[in-house]
Amino acid sequence: MNLSQLYYFRKLAEVKHYTHAAEELFISQPTLSNSISQLEKELGIPLFKREGRTIKLTRYGAEFYEYATEALNALEKGIALAKEHAGSPTGSIDIGAIYTIQSDYLPELIKGYRETYGRGAQVNVFQGLTLPLIEDLENDRYELAFTAYVPDKANLTFIPVLTQQLVAVV
């Protein structure tokens, strides 16, 4: 059993279709089929059963999926940690931001982050209005959010980072 087989197995279990899984893995369908067959042969159990054009995990496959996924997740965390220690954070950072800071402040902030920590982490910026952004922050959609201050949010810490002068034209 090798690492590629475990990644292939996990993807196939999630997608439930050989051709689609092979496309997402950027391998040929016969390569995927052979890899899964070898894994099943080595384990001595069937991991999948066909249901028309799709497949389904067997009872044994579902059990194996839990352990394989846990092992791969742990391995991926270890790789990310090693890269972090090497000075290049990985993963993604999801940021919520109000519209008014996205032209100057936020691009400069992200540029500075990348100059300091490298380009290993993907930065995703989601724009919106203050109240929906705060709600999404509270629901763990973002790691941080740039919004206006909202009173009565004891579970959040508001730190002023920018002041803007707004003008109303009538």
This prediction has a pTM of 0.52
Q: What is the CATH number of domain 3-84?
A: 1.10.10.10
Give Rg (Cα) of the chain: 23
Per-domain residue ranges of the chain: 3-84, 91-146
Greater pLDDT, 155 or 80: 155
Q: With b meaning 16 or more CB within 10 Å and e meaning fewer, what string describes 48-79?
A: beeeeeebebeeebeebbeebeeeeeeeeeee
CATH class of the domain comprising 91-146 = alpha beta
Q: What is the pLDDT of residue 138?
A: 92
Q: How does DSSP assign 90-114, residue by residue?
A: -EEEEEEEEGGGTTTHHHHHHHHHH
- Per the CB < 8 A criterion, the answer to whether 63 and 9 are in contact is no
Half-sphere exposure of 80 (CA within 13 A, CB side): 12
Q: Out of 71-80, 118-127, 147-156, 160-169, which region has the weakest mean confidence (pLDDT)?
A: 160-169
Percent of the residues in the chain that have a pLDDT greater than 70, as a whole number:
96
Q: What are phi and psi of 55, to 5 degrees?
A: -130, 165
Q: What is the pLDDT of residue 89?
A: 67
- For 26-65, the pLDDT digits (tens) are 999 999 999 999 999 999 999 999 888 889 999 999 999 9
Taking the C-alpha atoms of residue 89 and residue 72, their distance in angstroms, rounded to an integer, is 19
Q: What is the pLDDT of residue 170?
A: 83
- For 67-96, the pLDDT digits (tens) are 999 999 999 888 887 877 676 667 788 999
Greater pLDDT, 97 or 100: 97
What separation, in Å, do the N-terminal and C-terminal C-alpha atoms of the chain show? Answer: 71
Q: What is the pLDDT of residue 87?
A: 65
